[in-house]
Amino acid sequence: MNQNEQYYYSDRKGFVTEAMAYLIPLRPYLFVIITLFLLATAAGYISGYLDPSIIDELMGQFEETYGWIAEESPIMIMLFIFANNTLNSFVAMLLGTLFGIWPVIFILVNGFFIGVVVFSSVQEYGIFVVLSALLPHGIIELPMIFISASIGLRLGVLAFQKIFNINEKEIRFKYELFSAIKFFVTVIVPLLFIAAIIETFITSSILYVLTS
């Protein structure tokens, strides 16, 4: 290994270590976010079962808002998915500074919608097709969304503690906000880009094979 390779390996190892260290204080917030998401998804699934009309209503709204993208090229679809997920995740994180309210709403709304869509898709295509459609990109995309919301929730709690002097330790809120943005740009954004590529070019191919 030459000197340049050593520096590259050291920098990469340091980056991974720093990223993993950042996730440690997020664990309780991540638990809350994932729990809320699962509850909202279950509520959406049950709602679709109890009231099938809600499926048509939500899917109609979705088609009205995003239906146009289906006519675009695969590259444009990929860029749209990436931009949409990145923007929504960043907003959920940044607006979390307002006492953590928005990340919770963001997760509940999306969880409910996914629950309804999963119920509808399972009825039409079966659980195997649904899992095949969700897992390739979802295994990357969902954790990034969960982490973004968790960062927002943590920032909201820290803001609340700082304003009302609840925490005895000094809270360097500007530093926490800068660290959150840095983690988002260096870790979450690249992985959301990879997830968008997988969703556009791999997931769509899998669905075409399984449903044709």
Q: How far is 152 from 83, CA to CA, in rounded Å? A: 19
Q: How far is 87 from 108, CA to CA, in rounded Å? A: 17
Q: How far is 194 from 121, CA to CA, in rounded Å? A: 24
Q: pLDDT 10s per residue in the chain (212 long)?
A: 554 445 445 566 778 888 899 999 999 999 999 999 999 999 999 999 999 899 999 888 888 888 888 788 999 999 999 999 999 999 999 999 999 999 999 999 999 999 999 999 999 889 998 998 899 999 999 999 999 999 999 999 999 998 888 766 778 899 999 999 999 999 999 999 999 999 999 988 888 888 76
Residues 6 or more apart whose Cβ sits within 8 Å of residue 97: 152, 155, 156, 159, 177
> What is the DSSP track for 55-95?
HHHHHHHHHHHHGGGGGS-HHHHHHHHHHHHHHHHHHHHHG
Q: How far is 40 from 103, CA to CA, in rounded Å? A: 13
pTM: 0.90
Domains of the chain, residue spans: 27-211
